[in-house]
Every structure is written in structure tokens, then in C-alpha cells.
Amino acid sequence: MARRNIFQPPAPPTEAPSTEGTEPRRSFPNTGAMSGVKTTLRDLSSNAVRDIDPDLIDIDGPKDRLEFDDADVAELAESIRQNGQQVPIMVRSTPGTAGRYKIVYGRRRLRALKMLGMPAKALVRALNDREAIVAQGQENNQRLDPSFVEKALFCAELSEAGYGNDVILDALAIDKAMLSRMNKVARSVPRALVEFIGPAHGVGRRRWEDLAVAVEGRTDDVVALLDRITPSTSQKLSDDRFSMVVNELSGSGQSKERITPPALSVQGPDGKIIGEVQSSARAVTIRINAASEPEFAEWVKKKAQQALVDLYDAWLENKRGH
């Protein structure tokens, strides 16, 4: 057996690269404190806001709003011009296309930034289709408070795109009963009629359900109605267009008992709709949107009894004065 030359150093192992002239690399275990540091660094990286050219962001996928009012977008653009973009949008990389992105949420902000020619401050997330839809629905529910019919159409678009009910329920934070009601309205009210009316933020679920019953099987009446009233409504608000449609349908042979009379929307000093007053032959109802104004709704609930007494006393006083 050949003897090893003890004066000749052993050859370096072939599987390990040479480290001559370099700092030795330290290997940290993926546990304990170092694991926490790594996780924190990943979180910071994922939360970093990037500046992205708006022209590199594609706007596609199901829409969660019926319309972007040009004046509203122009007002937002002016606010961004003066104060900068305060809230980032969210995007995800376009598969197979380097350097391009798909919008997850923030479509209105993106339009305003394009109008200004400014880069978009964006969070870039690695999301699959399901995760993107859930993020879009939940963010818009929290920030924009879409109207009932906008949510109903969003549900319908997601269903047509092949998303299951579990995804839709998560995206809109609703239960199966509400999903069924929304689907009923989306199926029954012609899309052209919904687009003519618009989002109608002051119109709640029950009135849309009544309209769905009123237009059932009346396609010709709806077409004739749109031809007749569309030219005269360009300056009317969305809630007013809803009331006009209800009144027109009520006067063209449909049983009036099946359609709830139009409600009066109540606006606060800032122009935000804070509730509505609904009257019928049996009752006068004051509704407050507890989803969008939970604290106000809770406060009103506590004060309602005394407020009603005060209103009644004021009515008696007014009656005596006459």
C-alpha cells in the first residue's frame, strides 16, 4: 500500500469551493431569535412601497364599483397634487411579463395619478387570483363602502369568472343568505337598468329586491322606459334616478304595493349620507347604515327613545301653535 507523503499537504476537497481571500460565511440556524429577525426582514421587504409608472399597471379583473365620476377623480387628483399620495395602491406582478403589474385595489387612485402624470406608490404582493380577489373585496369594503347593488354585481362577476362561493363570501365578508339575495338582484334587474341608475348609495337591499320583483318578466317595459327617460336624466343623482325608475314602473301597470316608495336620503354637513327616512302607509322608518357608521348607529340607538319623545313634544307644540 502506498504511503502518504507527510510533507505534502492534502488536496482540498473537490465538493467545497475555495474560500481563500474571503470572509468565512456564518451559518445561522433557522430557529429562535435569528428566525424572528429573518421573518421581520421579509415582512419589512413585503411592506415596502415602490414608485411604479401607472402605464405599467394593467386595470383588469372584476369591478367592485359601477362608475368613477370624473369630477370625483379630478377632486382626488387635486388632493394628491397638494398633499401627495397618502394611501398606496396594491398591485401584483403580471405572470410571464416582466416589469408589468395588475391592479389589486386602488383603481380610482390610479386614475387620478395617471391624470397628474405622477408615479404610483404601490405595495407589490405575490398573490394568486383568489388572494387578490379577497384583498380587493375586503379593502374596498373597509374604505369605499360600496353600495348594495355594486356588491351584488361584484358577486355576479366573480361567479361568472369561476370563483366559488367560499371566495366570494370571504371577499365581501357576507353570509350565504346575503349572497343569495345579491345574486337574485343581479340576475333579475337588467344590467342596462343598473348602469342607468348607478350605485345609488342611499338605496338599500330591500328596495333593490322590490325593484327586482317589479321588473321580473318585463324586459320590453324596461327597454321602453330607458328609451323614454334617459335623455332627461343626465344631471340627476343616482338615488333620484332610482326613484324615477320606481315611479315610472309603478305608473305603467305594475301593482304599486310591490314597490316601496322612494326613501329620503339624509346627508350630514360634509355631504356624506348618514341615513334615510322611509315612509309607507303603515310606518315611517329611519335607517342608519350600521356597517359604515357603527359608532353613530350605536349612539343613536341609545338616544332614540328620548329623541322620539322630543320630536313628539315639538310636534304637539307646533300643533297648538296652529
Residues 87-134 pLDDT 10s: 888 888 887 788 899 888 888 888 899 999 999 999 888 888 888 888
Task: Report the alpha-carbon distance of residue 158 to residue 172 in Å, rounded.
Answer: 11
For the record, the C-alpha cell of 319 comes out as: 300643533
Q: What is the mean pLDDT of residues 156-172?
A: 85
- Highest mean pLDDT of the ranges 58-62, 69-73, 144-148, 173-177: 173-177
Predicted local confidence at residue 20, as pLDDT: 46
Q: Round to whole Å and give the CA distance between 109 and 136.
A: 14
pLDDT of residue 33: 46
- pLDDT of res. 56: 92
Confidence of residue 68 (pLDDT cuts 50, 70, 90): low
The pLDDT value given to residue 43: 43
**Does residue 15 have a pLDDT over 50?**
no
Q: Which candidate, 53, 66, 139, places its Cα nearest to that of 104?
A: 139
| Strand segments (E) across the chain | 49-52, 57-58, 89-93, 101-105, 120-124, 264-267, 273-279, 284-287
Alpha-carbon distance of 6 to 4, in angstroms, equals 6
69 pLDDT band, cuts 50/70/90, is low
Question: What is the rounded CA–CA span in Å between residue 250 and residue 255?
Answer: 7
Q: Which one is predicted more confidently, 143 or 196? A: 196
- What is the Cα–Cα distance from 187 to 28, expressed in whole angstroms? 58
The average confidence (pLDDT) of the chain is 76
pLDDT of residue 263: 66
pLDDT for residue 185 is more than 90: yes
Q: What band does 169 get if pLDDT is binned at 50, 70 and 90?
A: confident
Confidence (pLDDT) at 53: 93
